[in-house]
Amino acid sequence: MGGRCIHSQSSALSSLKLLSARGQHHRLQTRWHRLRVQAGKIPVGEKWWERCSISNMREVSGVQQFVDELATAQDRLVIVDFFAKWCGSCRALFPKLCSIAEDNPEILLLKIDWDENREICKALGIKVLPYFQFYRGTQGKVAAFSASVSKIQRIRDALAEHGTPRCDLGRVERLQEFPDVEPHLLSYPSDGKDGAKNPARELATVR
């Protein structure tokens, strides 16, 4: 009987210690988050993934739009950023991507939210975030890799390698991952603030 009481007391004490440790960890996390907010690192209530309003950076909301964006881009280099709103690495990297898009108006940067576009991510085999794919006209996908803030140079290197000016007049094929999705040319302003030409208008001129 006494042995059972000692065991029960020991179990209760262990549970209390575990709860205390968890509570302390939660308090530390809360304090750290509050300090970062106060320091301006995390603006209160901000949706960080919507922070940039650059014309050559767009968020994809479905397979059809993804296929259409790639078809409309033609020979323009397209960088696809796979991210999640809860991903700390994605958040830390985002300001760098905004700078890259702003400094390279000739490229198109597509953002794909992993949670809202599971069909796309599953078909493309995305299993780690943040993840990037580079597409270029009839060449299709020319690069794919994961990168974080500490490995931002991977993105810059791929941009330097695949972002050189070129004119590919071939027909952009359908994505092999979505063979049943017919691409449509999207309509954009002729020459936006990003300095890039309207690919739909140029394609019509070539034809």
Active site residue 90: yes
98 is catalytic: no
Given the residues 5, 87, 98, 121, select the one marked as catalytic. 87
Q: Which of 5, 52, 90, 167 is catalytic?
A: 90
Torsion of CA 187, 191, 195, 199, to 10 degrees: 40
Which are the catalytic amino acids? 87, 90
